[in-house]
């Protein structure tokens, strides 16, 4: 028997604790809610007692913020670095996004001389197409003495992934797999013609549906329903599928429920459609109103002057709400705290709610098993399904968690239900792809030897299972891609055979959109802009309009001549990429938000900026915060009495206010 923080550790936690005592790295895969965090806390406790430091990384800022608050309540000396916020960066335990850790590994590796552990929460993000290379680079290039604790939900190729980790780190690795959920899941299917049934009854359900279809063809009165997951029209008998499922959950007392939709608009529509429900009794309504107004006072916001807050309050008194990335960060946090209280009984949300934040429910419902992947609709991955389904079942409250997937005719026939329900998650695949920023940093320390970096990658390790010819082909392609990137940087004036040139020195200090910022600075494109226009230009680097949205009016507001100068500066680098056959070039500026950003910079309200932009407030805030981060980095990179420094400071002050000010929101909450 082994105890820690008052808990009796289960066998996999004991195994992890013993491995940490022996100086090993840890790779732990276990279901949501099974106690992975306690292993991280044990590692932190071990480091703190030896007066060493710990870095805790997470894939999303909201989870980083939550961990900071949790560790602060535990009495730890804790800091936070997320890009939006920097609090006590020299603390004994520092929570940061993985990108910031990776950047620090290259910028200042000496800062980790007294770090014992780096904890990677959600380490399976290494498989993320856009961001996964950051996790891989961090593991490869972190100082040798640093130990890693990798935490994840189920990983099918855990042994392969662990073998690679052990091959690139100096310490031994303990691989731990724990498959038992603390609260088992009961997974069910729902079809509008068949009600709720089990996966084992699928074949029978299809036979019944075929018979009903033949009968329907003879009926002139059949009704049609648009399926939210695909936009197809399907036969409908009785109430809307979502309505019928929620009716059953209410009747059987199976709330609170998370209802996952893969469309922001669908979340809002479904919340509106369910406003007729009274999911709270009189005492609960009084309690949730007190809680809501208490949170508003804490954040210094007034529902009387904010229609969106009044709408949240109105929905909350009915016991329901919605949550998605387009909602203002402060409004999302209010909804999250209401849900955590247990008083919000029904929450319509997109998949972002499933990432990391510990907010379980009695029941999880999927509006559809298909989602848009940026190109087309397809069935979700087993990993995504389990991440969301894993929110069902509250430890210490529920004997089991209930998961209901709503199916249309096509999904009943074709969906990979066995793979989803049995947790057969996809193997982690390497996304190793050195960015310009990483290439510049490595070149300073390694020169042309960085071409060998591929040999340490998980991609190279995975290729070993193929034939000799296949391995050589992949290695040759990877090395050729690195050489091409180096050639582009050399021809664009960032590096030469001796090391970094002035352009490279500037880019080295900008993390994210480093090439665009450097080209604008050294191309003289920023010299004549005032503070409001500067904010708009930096936003144009980040912002990318949805398909079919025209950005010409914003371009005119900035001034066609000035906008052309910005475009020309960035096109200089893009043209070099084109010459070397690069199709996936750096992003060109998009001036679609110019009018909205200038209005905000000059003092307009958030609702007005939202109206001008034709965009969700949450997206606007996220874009502005990224622009602020870039302006801060450039200001820090400049030295001397540079006039641009003062205008950057003015631009930051103008836009970093009210709903955009992440630090103020965090400190109030």
Q: What is the pLDDT of residue 547?
A: 58
Q: Which residues contact 531 (CB under 8 A, 6 or more apart)?
A: 601, 647, 650, 651, 654
Q: In the prediction, which pLDDT does 355 show?
A: 67
Sign of CA pseudo-dihedral 469, 474, 477, 482: negative
Alpha helices per DSSP H over 189-348: 202-217, 241-251, 264-273, 282-299, 307-317, 329-340
Q: What pLDDT shows up at residue 226? A: 41
CA distance 631 to 512: 11
Would 185-421 and 509-668 be classified into the same CATH topology? no
* Separation of CA 199 from chain center: 31
Classify 83 in phi/psi space as left (phi over 0), alpha (psi -120 to 50) or beta: left
Q: In angstroms, how far apart are the furthest CA atoms of the chain?
A: 83
This prediction's pTM: 0.90
Query: Alpha-carbon distance 361 to 353, whole Å?
Result: 12
DSSP per-residue string spanning 121-173 = TTGGGGG-TTTHHHHHHHHHHS-TT-EEEEEES--TTHHHHHHHHHHHSSS-E
Beta bridge partners of 223: 236
> Domain residues of the chain, as ranges?
3-177, 185-421, 436-496, 509-668
The Cα–Cα gap between 567 and 130 comes to 25
User: How many angstroms separate the first and last alpha carbons of the chain?
Assistant: 39
Q: Is 619 helix (H, G, I), strand (E, B) or coil?
A: helix
Q: Mean pLDDT in each 10-residue stretch from start to end of the chain (669 residues)?
A: 85 95 96 87 94 92 87 93 90 94 90 95 92 94 96 91 96 94 93 90 89 59 43 54 95 96 94 96 97 96 94 97 94 94 95 73 96 81 90 92 95 92 89 92 89 93 92 93 95 95 94 95 93 96 73 73 94 96 93 95 95 93 96 90 89 96 89
DSSP 571-616: HHHHHHHHHTT-SSPPPPP--TTHHHHHHHHTT--HHHHHHHHTS-
Lookup: tokens for 139:
């593991």
How many distinct helices (H) and strands (E) make up the chain? 28, 23
* Two tokens, residue 274: 């369910």
Q: Which residues contact 508 (CB under 8 A, 6 or more apart)?
A: 107, 437, 440, 441, 444, 500, 514
> Which is nearest to 79 in space by CA: 65, 67, 68, 63?
68
Q: Is residue 462 reached through a cis peptide bond, with omega within 30 degrees of 0 on the bond before it?
A: no
Q: Are 340 and 391 in contact (CB under 8 A)?
A: no
What is 185-421's CATH topology?
A: Rossmann fold (3.40.50)
CATH number for the region 3-177 comes to: 3.40.50.300
Q: What is the predicted pLDDT for the residue at 357?
A: 62
**Residue 149 is encoded by which pair of tokens?**
């604790």
Asked if CATH classification 1.10.3380.30 holds for the domain at 509-668, the reply, yes or no, is yes
**Would you say 261 and 325 are in contact if contact means Cβ atoms under 8 Å apart?**
no
Q: Which residue has the tokens 């604008």?
A: 520
């Amino acid at each position: 028997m082994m105890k820690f923080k008052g808990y009796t550790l289960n066998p996999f936690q004991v195994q992890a604790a013993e491995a940490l005592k022996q100086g090993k790295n840890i790779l732990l895969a276990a279901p949501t809610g099974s106690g992975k965090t306690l292993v991280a806390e044990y590692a932190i406790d071990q480091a703190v007692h030896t007066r060493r430091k710990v870095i805790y990384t997470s894939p999303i800022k909201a989870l980083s913020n939550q961990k900071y608050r949790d560790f602060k309540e535990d009495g730890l000396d804790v800091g936070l670095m997320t890009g939006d916020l920097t609090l006590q960066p020299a603390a004994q335990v520092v929570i940061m996004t993985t990108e910031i850790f990776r950047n620090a590994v290259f910028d200042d590796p000496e800062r980790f001389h007294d770090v014992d552990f780096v904890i990677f929460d959600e380490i399976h993000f290494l498989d993320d197409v856009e961001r996964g290379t950051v996790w891989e680079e961090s593991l490869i290039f972190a100082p040798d003495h640093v130990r890693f604790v990798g935490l994840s939900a189920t990983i099918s190729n855990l042994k392969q992934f662990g073998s690679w980790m052990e091959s690139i780190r100096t310490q031994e690795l303990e691989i731990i797999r724990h498959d038992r959920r603390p609260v088992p899941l009961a997974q069910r299917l729902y079809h509008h013609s068949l009600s709720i049934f089990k996966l084992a009854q699928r074949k029978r359900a299809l036979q019944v549906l075929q018979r009903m279809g033949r009968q329907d063809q003879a009926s002139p009165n059949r009704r049609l329903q648009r399926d939210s997951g695909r936009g197809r029209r399907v036969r409908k008998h009785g109430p809307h599928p979502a309505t019928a499922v929620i009716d059953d959950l209410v009747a059987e007392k199976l709330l609170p429920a998370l209802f996952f939709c893969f469309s922001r608009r669908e979340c809002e529509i479904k919340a509106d459609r369910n406003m007729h429900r009274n999911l709270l009794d009189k005492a609960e309504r009084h309690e949730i109103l007190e809680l809501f107004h208490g949170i508003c006072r804490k954040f210094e916001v007034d529902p009387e002057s904010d229609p969106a807050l009044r709408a949240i309050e109105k929905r909350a008194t009915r016991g329901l709400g919605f949550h998605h990335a387009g909602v203002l960060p402060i409004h999302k946090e209010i909804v999250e705290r209401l849900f955590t209280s247990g008083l919000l009984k029904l929450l319509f949300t997109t998949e972002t709610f499933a990432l990391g934040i510990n907010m379980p429910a009695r029941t999880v419902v999927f509006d559809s098993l298909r989602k848009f992947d940026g190109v087309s609709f397809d069935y979700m991955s087993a990993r995504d399904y389990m991440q969301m389904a894993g929110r069902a079942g509250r430890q210490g409250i529920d004997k089991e968690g209930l998961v209901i997937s709503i199916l249309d005719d096509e999904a009943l026939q074709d969906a990979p239900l066995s793979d989803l329900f049995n947790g057969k998650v996809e193997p982690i695949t390497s996304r190793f792809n050195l960015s310009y920023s990483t290439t510049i940093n490595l070149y300073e320390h390694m020169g042309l030897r960085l071409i060998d970096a591929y040999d340490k990658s998980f991609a190279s390790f995975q290729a070993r299972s193929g034939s000799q010819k296949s391995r050589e082909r992949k290695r040759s392609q990877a090395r050729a891609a690195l050489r091409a990137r180096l050639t582009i940087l050399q021809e664009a004036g960032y590096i030469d055979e001796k090391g970094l040139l002035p352009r490279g020195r500037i880019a080295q200090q900008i993390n994210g959109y480093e090439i665009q910022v450097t080209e604008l600075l050294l191309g003289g494109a920023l010299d004549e802009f005032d503070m409001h226009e500067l904010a708009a230009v930096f936003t144009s680097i980040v912002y990318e309009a949805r398909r079919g949205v025209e950005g010409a009016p914003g371009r005119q507001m900035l001034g066609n001549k000035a906008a052309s100068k910005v475009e020309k500066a960035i096109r200089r680098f893009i043209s070099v990429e084109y010459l070397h056959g690069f199709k996936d070039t750096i992003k060109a500026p998009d001036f679609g938000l110019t009018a909205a950003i200038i209005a905000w910079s000059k003092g307009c309200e958030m609702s007005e900026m939202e109206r001008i932009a034709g965009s969700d407030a949450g997206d606007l805030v996220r874009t502005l915060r990224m622009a602020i981060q870039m302006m801060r980095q450039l200001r820090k990179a400049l030295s001397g009495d540079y006039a641009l420094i003062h205008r950057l400071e003015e631009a930051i002050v103008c836009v970093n206010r009210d709903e955009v000010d992440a630090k103020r929101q965090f400190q109030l909450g």
